[in-house]
A and B are shown apart, each in its own frame.
Chain A
Amino acid sequence: MTPIERSRVAKGLLFISPWILGFLAFALYPLLVTAYLSFTDYSVLAPPVFIGTENYRELFTDLDFRKAIFNTAFFAALSVPLTAVMACLLAVLLNFQARGRSFFRTAFFLPSLVPMVCLGVIWRWLLNGEVGLINQFLLPFAEGINLLLGTQLDTPAWLEDPGFTKIGLAITSVWGLGHAMVIFLAGLQEAPVELYEAAELDGAGFWAKLKSVTLPMLSPYILFNLIMGLIASFQVFAVPFVMMDGANEPPGGPGGSMLFAATYIYLSAFADWKMGYACAMALIFFLLVVALTITLMKLSERRVHYAAKS
């Protein structure tokens, strides 16, 4: 390396040093400490005691841990596709040259700026089984169906019935689709007009253009949003935690149906003071998310079309 190059590298490193420092202090160091603590009995108040793989062995027989994995996966399977499809559809609609387009774009983006805790409180009331607006809206439909078919349909108790809690939460998560929508919009505007013109010349209608032009051009954005959505849904914590707080339920919700990975990690660490156990769980979930992300990338390699590559 010549002296000039060396000086350039040094300057470059200096410029990114705040980031490097931040990464070392706030990402790498905690990760390493988490890995170490997962092999200890650590109550935070007293110094950690090394106990080997006891935490991991216990995790494999812990029914609540299994429940937390199931709940998290179930919620991800519900909310990730729901949010992605809704965001994509909204982006397509908002991409039309219509009047008041900027107003609608802002309006649909705004809810994703609402802080998590406010979101939890707002939806706790919207989903209230007796006076909630969602049920007020559903009630006439249920009554109509009952009248027509003679059934006994009733509006669900979203926050108390274990069969509905996660569906309620998935509905809530749609509120946060603003960011995904903006990314899809950017993707739509990237799509070259020539392709649409060519498709139109070939006689393609709205749906054919959507299927053969828009979706392939959007595929990298879909992949990105899926991965980000997956990671976000594996971290779901604040909204269900706040929702259950008002329902006078154990923090895991009715029947443990709202016990998510992050909830269980938090409860183990800060309510039960089992930081070592919580670290072991956090590490397993971290590896799970990494594995899922890699799988998703591999699976999608052939289906994702990068404009720059072609």
Chain B
Amino acid sequence: MSLLCLTIPLLVVALTLFSGCSRQTEDRTEDGRTIVTLWTSWSGIERKGIDAVIEDFNASQDRIFVRALNVTDPQTKIMLATAGGNPPDVAIIGNQLIAAYAENNALIPLDELCRQNGIRAEQYLDTFWDAATYKDHIWALPLTCSVTALHYNKRIFGEAGLDPEEPPKTLEELERINNLIAKRRPDHSIECIGHLPLEPGWWRPEWSNWFGHGSFEGDDKMLFDGPAWQQTAAWLASYHQRFGQDELIKLRSGFGRFSSPQNPFFTGKVAMVLQGVWMNNFIESYADPNFEYGVAPFPASESANRPYYAIADVDLAIIPAGVEHREEAFALIHYLSSRPALEKLALAHGKMTSLRKVSPDFKDRHPHPYLQTFLDIAASGHARTRPQLAHFNSYLADASEAVNSITYGLVSPEQALLQLQAKQQKELDAKLRRWRRVEETYQELWNKESSSSSASTSSSASPSPHE
């Protein structure tokens, strides 16, 4: 009796605990529609944008009901959920991690589904379509996208005696303007600066592109010891030489958060920043109503073989491996990538669409005053996505750290690049070794998956054409 008294409560506790590990069973609405879960990292205004598109989709459907969830740090959560066998049906992620997900067999290849539904590479701008493909397979459908450009404070340009309509044409000219604009207080600390490569610092590993070459070449070579990076490092080091280590550290410690009125670009602490097309949304939300800014391509160095460079980023809709409602998931991403839905989302987010053609009134309806500049940059061939690396996160962390240290003068450029190159080449080699071990198995699996999905019919969402 006494044993039973103890055992029963223990069993109840154990069952309650383990029930948390079980798969969600509720996958139908009351009216019998299949529930498709969608994970995005969008919140605030951006969440409202995707919600409106999802509402349209749900209203058009009698078979599928989409439940959108806002998750922070979706990359880690998708990884863990997929590993645990309970992934969302669809997720929207940045393009940087496609290689890592694909090499770990965490996604469903979409080749066959795309073919059946008439989705073709020609419908998209090359840069963005390429970002969705890896190792000869299609892993995602490109949605909204953006490119970066130079954003400059017109008032500060005017005060320094410069023409506010004449942004710099080369990186060297940008630095001359930087020196002209930089102001010091009586105690020698910096009050404002023209440009700082660490603000906002989201693309620190990409600076060498402005000197003619990226950080990765071919399939197996990191280029941190190449000539482009040596020039980049000399340029970065010129900051502490010109402005002083302590002064730069002190200046940066006073920068407010990005999405706040204390953003250093809005407060005039930094006059020129590298930012994306979304910046206008934040300027309208947080900057002074009288804040005047201009946009131009971010100029490359005179020594580079290009007039300017831009980083292209794209939001990709993926279907994680192991989802139950594959067909319904594809119907959703097919709808999201259709022109009307995608343009609605792009207008809400202040971004662009990755499709080659846009509706005639898209530009008129778009809130961005400089949209044309961004569209021109995107179509110029000088806008590229960040490298597809299976070790992207460590690439980003290590290179960002090196860029910081060189800019502040905490290490010599030579030493920093040497260490960075050694570490990053080792990381890449390890991923290549790993890939060689699994390549055959995975390719076979993916080819089989592609052919098995051909059994499913084309989606019933009947979205509008992509063209």
Contact = CB atoms under 8 A, between A and B. Distances in A.
Contacts of A249: 404
A157 B249 contact: yes
A270 B83 contact: no
A128 B254 CA distance: 7
Given A45-B82, A272-B394, A154 B419 contact: no
Nearest to B404: A254
A200 interface: no
B401 A250 contact: yes
B106 interface: yes
Nearest to A45: B104
Contact of A131 (B254, B419, B423): B254
B367 interface: no
A14 interface: yes
Contacts of A58: 426, 430
Contacts of A63: 419, 423
A162 interface: yes
A56 interface: no
A46 interface: yes
A48 B427 CA distance: 18
Interface in B416-467: 419, 423, 426-427, 430, 434, 437-438
B401 A255 contact: yes
A255 B410 contact: yes
Interface in B1-24: 3, 6, 10
B6 A129 contact: no
B80 interface: yes
Contacts of A273: 79, 100, 104, 393
Contacts of B397: 250-252, 267, 271
A41 B105 contact: no
B434 A41 contact: yes
Contacts of B101: 45
Interface in A234-273: 246, 248-252, 254-256, 267, 270-273
Contacts of A272: 391, 393-394, 427
Nearest to B245: A161
B67 interface: no
A18 interface: yes
A124 B86 CA distance: 36
A214 B451 CA distance: 79
Determine which residue in B106, B401, B419 has the highest number of CB atoms from chain A within 10 A of its CB, and name it: B401
Interface in B96-132: 100-101, 104-106
A-side interface size class: 35 or more
Given A46-B105, A271-B397, A273-B79, A129 B250 contact: yes
A43 interface: yes
B257 interface: yes
Nearest to B13: A18
A129 B401 contact: no
B252 A271 contact: no
A250 B401 CA distance: 6
A94 interface: no
Interface string B397-410: 11011001100101
B76 interface: yes
Contact of B405 (A64, A159, A246, A255): A255
Contacts of A250: 396-398, 400-401, 404
Interface string A162-195: 1000000000000000000000000000000000
Interface in B122-176: none
A128 B393 contact: no
B253 interface: yes
B95 to A, nearest CB: 17
B279 to A, nearest CB: 16
A248 B201 contact: yes
Contact of A246 (B200, B257, B419): B257
6 contacts: A129-B254, A250-B401, A255-B405, A255-B408, A256-B401, A271-B397
Interface of B: 3, 6, 10, 76, 79-80, 82-83, 100-101, 104-106, 200-201, 246, 249-250, 252-255, 257-258, 391, 393-394, 396-398, 400-401, 404-405, 408, 410-411, 419, 423, 426-427, 430, 434, 437-438
Given A158-B253, A271-B394, 13 more contacts: A44-B79, A45-B105, A63-B423, A160-B252, A160-B253, A248-B201, A250-B397, A251-B397, A254-B249, A255-B408, A255-B411, A271-B393, A271-B397
